[in-house]
Structure 1
Amino acid sequence: MTSWNNPTLQSARQAPKALGIPYVIESSARGERVFDIFSRLLKERIVMLNGEVDDSVSAIIVAQLLFLEAENPEKPISFYINSPGGSVTAGMMQYIQSPVATVCMGQACSMGSLLLTAGEPGHRSILPNARVMIHQPRQAIIVYTTFGGASGQASDIAIHAKEILDIRERLNQIYVHHTHQSLDVIVNRMERDHFMSAEQALTFGLVDKVLEKRPFISITNTAESSTPNNSKKTEPSSTPQPEPARKP
C-alpha cells in the first residue's frame, strides 16, 4: 500500500490550490492512484466541454470520444456542454458510432447549440435555467474602402462570401434534420441571434427533455434498461418466498 506521505500524493493534494483542478485519490489492493477530476470522469465515459470551441478544444474532445469508442463502441457517452460557441469547422465533428447523450448546463450558444441538438435522439437534455442560442455563421471578410484601409483581392471576397453562404445552408439542413422544423422556420430563427429558455428549446426540438435532477442511473444498454417502469413494488413478507429461477 502506498504511503500517505508519498511525494506524488502530497503534490496531488496541493495541486488544486495552484492549478484549480481537483484531484481524486483512489485506493486499491495494488496501492493508490491519482487522477485529475476530468480523467476520472472520463473513466465513467463522461466528457466535458466548458468554454469556446476552437481547434485545440476540438482535438481534445475528439480524442476522448475516439478513445471511448475504441473501448466499447456500443456503450453510451455522456457529453456535458457549457459553451458560448466557436469555430464552425471545429464544431462539426459527429463521427463516432457510440451513442452520445448531450446535456446543456449553463449555455449552449452558436456551435454549442449544434453539438447539443446533434446528440443521440431521445437523450438530449438541458437544465432548467440553461440558455440556448442559435444564429447564422459569421466570418470576417476583408473589404475594399475608397480611402484605403483594409485591402484584398475582390475575387477572394467573392469566394469567402460564397463559402459562408454554403456553410449557412449546411448548418440550416443539420438543424432541420435534428429539430424536425421546416427550413423556413430555421432560416427565420437563425437570421439574428435567437435565444431560448430550456422550455423553449424543448418545444423547438433542440432537446428532448428538461432535467430537474441528474438521473440516478446513467443511460446504459444493460438488462436493467429493459425492465418495465410500471413494475409494482411488493412489501416484504414474513413468509419465505421461493427464489426465482435464474436465467442461464
Structure 2
Amino acid sequence: MYYAADDTPAPPSSATEPRTSYLEEKAFKARTLLIFGTVTDVTAADVTRRLIALDAEGPEPIDIIVSSPGGHLESGDAIHDVVRFIAAPVNMIGTGWVGSAATHLYLAAPRERRYCLPNTRFLIHQPSGGAGGQATDIAVQAREIVKARERIARTIARETGKPLEQVLADIERDHWLSAQEAVDYGLVSRVIERKTELRGG
C-alpha cells in the first residue's frame, strides 16, 4: 500500500562508486543517516540495518535527515518501529519536503527530538491504494486502507497532541504545512538552521 501518489521508481544504487562509499562511511562515523527520495523496502532495509549497527556502536544520538515525498507505507512503518526499538536516541531533521510515509517515519522520534530546517514543507494525508482485480479483492483492499487511515491518524494525534477527530478531518485531503505551521501543529519541536542547535551544545 502506498502512502503517497508517487510511484516513481527509485534511482539505481550508486553505493559501489568509491566517492559515494567514502561519503557514506563519513556520514556513518558521524552517526548521521539520510532518507532521501521514495520510501521503499530497499530504503527500509538499508536504514534499519544502519540504525541497528549504530545502536550497537554506542548510546550517542543518531541524526536522521529526511527529505522524501513518501512511498510504501509498510516500509515507513519498518523504519518508524526500529527508530523506537533501538536504545540510542534519534534526532529527526526534516529538510526539503517530508510527506506521507516520510512524515510517518519522522514521527517515530519524540517531539523534543523532531527538528526541521527553515524551508521544509510537510504533507499529511490518508493513504491511497491501486485496488484492482475481483470485486471481493477490491473490498478487502478498501477495508485495509480504512484501517491504515485510522492507524496513521492515531499516530499523528498521539505525537502532536491534536484531537483524533481533527486529524482525521485534516488528512481527508492533502494538508500542507510550512516549517512554522508544522511547529504550531505539533509535528516539529523547533526550526533550526545549524547543527549546533540540535542538542543545545
TM over 0.5: yes
TM-score (norm 1): 0.69
What is residue 53 of structure 2 aligned with on the other side? 67
Max Rg structure: 1
Match for 1:101 among 91, 99, 103?
91
Residue 90 of structure 1 aligns with an amino acid whose one-letter code is S
Higher helix share: 2
Alignment check: 8 A CA contact 1:102 1:120 kept: no
Alignment check: 8 A CA contact 1:109 1:134 kept: yes
What is residue 171 of structure 2 aligned with on the other side? 190
Match for 2:36 among 17, 26, 50?
50
In the TM superposition, what are the counterparts of 1:20-169 in structure 2 within 5 Å?
22=19, 36-72=22-58, 74-93=59-78, 94-95=81-82, 96-142=86-132, 152-169=133-150
Q: Distance in 1 between matches of 2:75 and 2:105?
A: 11
Q: CA deviation at 1:213?
A: 2.4
TM-score (norm 2): 0.84
Match for 2:154 among 162, 167, 173?
173
Q: How large is the RMSD of aligned CA atoms in angstroms?
A: 2.1
- State percent identity of aligned pairs: 33
Alignment check: 8 A CA contact 1:52 1:83 kept: yes
Aligned length: 182
Query: Which of the pair has the greater relative contact order for Cα pairs under 8 Å at 6+ separation?
Result: 2
Q: CA deviation at 1:219?
A: 3.7
Alignment check: 8 A CA contact 2:38 2:70 kept: yes
Q: CA deviation at 1:99?
A: 1.1
Residue 55 of structure 1 aligns with an amino acid whose one-letter code is D
Q: CA deviation at 1:165?
A: 0.7
Query: SS of 1:122's equivalent?
Result: helix
Alignment check: 8 A CA contact 2:111 2:186 kept: no
Q: Distance in 2 between matches of 1:43 and 1:121?
A: 25
